[in-house]
Amino acid sequence: MSKLTVAVLFGGQSSEHEVSLVSANTVITNINKEIYDVVLIGITKDGRWLHVEKQEDIASGEWLNSNTTAVISPDTSQKGILLMKDGQVTVQHVDVVFPVLHGLNGEDGTVQGLLELSKIPYVGCGVLASSVSMDKLYTKIIVDTLGVRQARYVGVFAEELDNMEEAVAKVEATLEYPVFIKPSNAGSSKGVSKAHDRKELETGLVEAAKHDRKILVEETIIGREIECAVLGSRDVKASGIGEIKAAAEFYDFDAKYNNEESKTIIGPELPEGVEEKVRDAAVRIFKAVDGQGLSRVDFFLENGTNDIVFNEINTMPGFTSISMYPMLWENKGFSKERLVEKLIQLGLARYQE
């Protein structure tokens, strides 16, 4: 039986470019080379798509020197990747794409839309789930309909900051300090801050507006940070629970990737019934956004009440050495290789349906 060809997309133009490189390296390592041929496509920070010859070029940075341009065409007659070098164009057939892209211009429905137009199967959530899950404000609007508790929130648009006094008053009319300020579409906690007073709120709004025109301001929930992985399309399964022990006041980008004091705990001790409630809520939220393939759903376990409070959903969670998603499934007996294979097969099955 001939091998299928998997194209792995990595890099991208988001603030999570470097994280994507590490995640992609893990995914590529765990693709079964006896079943699949692998084509590597790197996207630079300035938006160039490059064909990459060797996996080791990703970690070394040598991939940026590739002189072969890669293009996925929406022309369905191609159904592959156009490779352009020295004025010559060849077509690389592709059976399925694994877009290991985090954040904007990759996890937000844009690449998924391109692949839909191209009629190329791909791993992970579709256009709708990717776009609404990337947008924290619209995720909250959807979850409002499920009866799952989440932090109270106020949406602010960047243009409202032209009258900062009114923007601040809008927040203060609903929420009490301290509050969290988040760009609605950024990832890995880029542009996120915590405001204890009006001055810090103004500073946080300005910083968030550098990352997105939609800004989410939320009440502060004091509690444990817990996460659940979901896997599947029609038959959706939830993993066990993981807990984040952040080294900083909150789990921002630096605490997540640069501070060795931050820790992840698989299977933490939880009050009776909490794990099942989290697993149930994770699946319900995943289905509500029309999730496909995989997602990681994040919650708080509120101090004092032990209430489950939804935080956010990530449709292409990290696959780094410290990433919760693969660790949660490994704890359930799913090796990384088995997990990657399952995700590829889910992508192919969805297209066939």
Domains of the chain: 4-122 (3.40.50.20), 132-149+221-352 (3.30.470.20), 153-219 (3.30.1490.20)
pLDDT tens track of the chain, all 353 residues? 689 999 999 999 988 899 999 999 999 999 999 999 999 999 999 999 999 999 999 999 999 999 999 999 998 887 799 999 999 999 999 999 999 999 889 999 999 999 999 999 999 999 999 999 999 999 999 999 999 999 999 999 999 999 999 999 999 999 999 999 999 986 556 789 999 999 999 999 999 999 889 999 999 999 999 999 999 998 999 999 999 987 655 544 454 544 455 689 999 999 999 999 999 999 999 999 999 999 999 999 999 999 999 999 999 999 998 899 999 999 999 999 999 999 999 999 999 88
Q: How many Cβ atoms sit within 10 Å of the Cβ of residue 169?
A: 11
**Cα–Cα distance, 22 to 14 (Å, whole number):** 14
**Cα–Cα distance, 207 to 196 (Å, whole number):** 15
Q: Rounded to the nearest 10 degrees, how much is the dihedral formed by the CA atoms of 44, 50, 56, 58?
A: 10
Judged by DSSP in three states, 348 sits in helix
Q: 24 — phi, psi (to 5°)?
A: -60, -40
Contact 156, 205 (CB under 8 A): yes
pLDDT of residue 258: 47
Strand order, beta sheet including 153-157? 153-157, 214-219, 179-183, 193-195
Q: Please confirm whether the linkage preceding 178 is cis (ω < 30° from 0).
A: yes
In the numeric block, the tokens 């789930």 are attached to 129
pLDDT of residue 260: 59
What are the start-end ranges of the H helices in the chain?
Answer: 17-29, 56-60, 110-118, 127-134, 136-143, 164-172, 198-209, 253-257, 274-288, 324-330, 336-352
Full-model pTM: 0.91
Q: Rounded to the nearest 10 degrees, how much is the dihedral formed by the CA atoms of 346, 314, 261, 203?
A: 160
pLDDT of residue 344: 98
**Helical pair 164-172 and 198-209, crossing angle rounded to 10 deg:** 110
pLDDT of residue 262: 66
